[in-house]
């Protein structure tokens, strides 16, 4: 009886436990969830063969996988950027080759790339020192690798280009050497063809001699400068010119005459320089007087005439020519409408405008007109600012401050008083007691 009773009680308790389960707490639910997640994670790691029960190891493995992913993305980005840059650079090479400057057929792929680099350093991002290095290497390849003759047109063109880069870089002696070598090679080429005269070669000879004359003038070798410039004028005068190249010949004649006049003016031979400057001014074609390039050249010649007149002591004539030069510069370059200026042709007007404005300020300062001198010095500063010439701007600024200081310190007086103040005061000569007249009086 007791056994049956105990069985009934136990069975009842089991039924109660099954029908009314014990409600788990929040902590028990969290532990159960964590256990299930860990179980699933272990199952996944077992299947992939990367199972570890150490949390540090698992975190490092996760970090490494993320780092590999970042490295892959970075590598793909770098490769894509490098490929894009290479594609753009190669496309730019093709653009230069086909549209801007074609490479001579005698030169190879390496020389082509070097010439393209020289073009970039000459036109796009000017650095003539680097450009000269590129062109010199191309010249070496042409002579040593391609085995071209010294008198070939390709080699002569490379020498002339190298000379131009050296001159712009400030290496004047190296530029003279290259121009001289190219000039003699052109003469040898002409001699090899039994003295055959072609307009293109005569023009190249004349232009090369003109460059040498200008460079010799810059290094103060006036004898050679006079020789080459005179030879250039001789070639310009005797060569038959076609209608297509007439403007080039006219410009060469005017600039060469101006350079020859500068040779004499620098040496103080103003009597020889004056007719040359006047001749150059008259040689400007009437049909080109509205062209900015010729207007700026006219302004340069007028300023040269002003300086020559000043050297001859004719201050009024110097002032007149300087005023004319200033007006020509104002015509060639407008401060009021900068968008209308041709930057390539008006650069000479800006350079000449700065110089002639400073010259006008100096002339007016000599006359004691300090207020007017300050105005022209300020104009010279404006031209220097347009040229981004910091040294010139500083010099003109100092001149302007000097005349303003003189104007503030100068007393108000008339021109007559200024002239009288500058005249030396002569004192009466005292009789010398030992002179012959005093000795006779004593007798």
Q: Do the domain assignments include residue 246? A: no
Provide the percentage of residues in the chain whose pLDDT is more than 70: 78
Question: Which tops the pLDDT comparison, 140 or 93?
Answer: 140
Structural domain for 178, as ranges = 99-196
Distance CA 59, CA 103 (A): 61
Please tell me the predicted confidence (pLDDT) of residue 433. 38
Cβ contacts of 148 within 8 Å, gap of 6 or more = 106, 142, 154, 155
* Average pLDDT estimate for 144-149: 93
* Average pLDDT estimate for 71-86: 91
Q: Do the domain assignments include residue 284? A: no
Please tell me the predicted confidence (pLDDT) of residue 430. 42
* Average pLDDT estimate for 388-417: 80
Question: Which tops the pLDDT comparison, 80 or 410?
Answer: 80
pLDDT at 357 over 80: yes
* Average pLDDT estimate for 383-393: 90
Q: What is Dmax (Cα atoms) for the chain?
A: 195
Q: Do the domain assignments include residue 321? A: yes
Continuous segment of H or E residues that includes residue 327: helix 315-332
CB 321 within 8 A of CB 360: no
Please tell me the predicted confidence (pLDDT) of residue 291. 85
- Give the HSE-up count for residue 80: Cα atoms under 13 Å, Cβ half-sphere: 6
User: For the chain, what is the total number of helices (H) and then of strands (E)?
Assistant: 18, 0
Last-in-domain residue among 153, 172, 196 = 196
Q: Do the domain assignments include residue 302? A: no
pLDDT at 64 over 70: yes
Q: Do the domain assignments include residue 376? A: yes
Distances (CA, A) of 233 to 207, 225, 230, 283, 361: 10, 12, 5, 13, 35
Task: Work out the mean pLDDT of the chain and round it to a whole number.
Answer: 83
What are the structure tokens assigned to 26, written together? 């929040």
pLDDT at 99 over 70: yes
Q: Which range in 15-19, 314-318, 437-441 is most confidently predicted, on average pLDDT? A: 314-318
pTM of the model: 0.74
Q: Do the domain assignments include residue 36? A: no
CATH of the domain at 143: 1.25.40
> What confidence tier does 437 reach under pLDDT thresholds 50, 70, 90?
very low
Last-in-domain residue among 138, 169, 196 = 196
pLDDT at 178 over 90: yes
Distance CA 18, CA 328 (A): 114
pLDDT at 349 over 60: yes
Last-in-domain residue among 170, 196, 222 = 196
- The C-alpha R_g of the chain, in whole angstroms, comes to 44
Q: Do the domain assignments include residue 53? A: no
> What confidence tier does 442 reach under pLDDT thresholds 50, 70, 90?
very low
Please tell me the predicted confidence (pLDDT) of residue 45. 54
Cβ contacts of 188 within 8 Å, gap of 6 or more = 151
Distance CA 334, CA 349 (A): 10
Q: Do the domain assignments include residue 22? A: no
Q: Phi first, then psi: what are they for 149, rounded to 5°?
A: -75, 150
Provide the number of structural domains found in the chain.
2
Distance CA 353, CA 325 (A): 8
Distance CA 31, CA 222 (A): 102
Provide the percentage of residues in the chain whose pLDDT is more than 90: 59
């Amino acid at each position: 009886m007791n056994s049956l009773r105990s069985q009934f009680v136990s069975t009842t308790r089991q039924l109660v436990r099954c029908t009314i389960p014990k409600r788990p707490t929040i902590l028990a639910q969290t532990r159960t969830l964590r256990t299930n997640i860990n179980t699933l994670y272990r199952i996944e790691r077992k299947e992939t063969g990367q199972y570890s029960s150490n949390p540090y190891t698992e975190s490092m493995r996760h970090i490494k996988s993320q780092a590999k992913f970042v490295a892959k993305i970075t590598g793909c980005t770098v490769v894509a950027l490098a490929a894009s840059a290479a594609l753009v650079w190669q496309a730019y090479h093709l653009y230069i080759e086909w549209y801007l400057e074609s490479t001579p057929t005698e030169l190879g792929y390496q020389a082509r790339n070097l010439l393209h680099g020289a073009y970039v350093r000459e036109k796009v991002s000017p650095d003539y020192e680097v450009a000269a290095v590129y062109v010199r290497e191309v010249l070496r390849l042409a002579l040593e690798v391609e085995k071209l003759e010294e008198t070939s047109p390709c080699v002569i063109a490379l020498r002339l280009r190298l000379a131009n880069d050296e001159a712009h870089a400030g290496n004047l002696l190296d530029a003279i050497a290259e121009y001289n070598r190219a000039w003699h090679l052109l003469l040898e080429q002409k001699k090899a063809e039994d003295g055959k005269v072609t307009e293109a070669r005569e023009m190249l000879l004349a232009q090369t001699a003109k460059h040498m004359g200008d460079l010799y003038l810059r290094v103060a070798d006036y004898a050679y400068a006079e020789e080459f410039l005179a030879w250039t004028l001789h070639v310009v005068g005797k060569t038959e010119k076609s209608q297509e190249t007439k403007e080039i010949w006219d410009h060469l004649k005017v600039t060469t005459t101006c350079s020859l006049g500068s040779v004499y003016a620098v040496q103080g031979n103003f009597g020889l320089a004056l007719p040359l400057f006047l001749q150059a001014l008259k040689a400007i074609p009437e049909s080109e007087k509205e062209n900015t390039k010729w207007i700026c050249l006219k302004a340069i010649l007028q300023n040269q005439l002003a300086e020559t007149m000043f050297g001859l002591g004719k201050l009024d004539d110097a002032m007149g020519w300087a005023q004319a030069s200033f007006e020509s510069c104002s015509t060639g370059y407008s401060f009021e409408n900068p968008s209308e200026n041709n930057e390539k042709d008006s650069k000479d007007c800006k350079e000449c405008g700065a110089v002639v404005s400073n010259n006008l300020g100096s002339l007016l300062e000599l006359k004691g007109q300090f207020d007017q001198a300050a105005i022209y010095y300020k104009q010279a500063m404006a031209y220097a600012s347009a040229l981004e010439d910091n040294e010139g701007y500083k010099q003109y600024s100092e001149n302007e401050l000097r005349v303003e200081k003189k104007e503030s310190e100068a007393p108000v007086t008339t021109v007559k008083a200024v002239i009288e103040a500058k005249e030396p005061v002569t004192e009466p000569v005292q009789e010398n007691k030992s002179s012959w007249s005093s000795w006779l009086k004593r007798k």
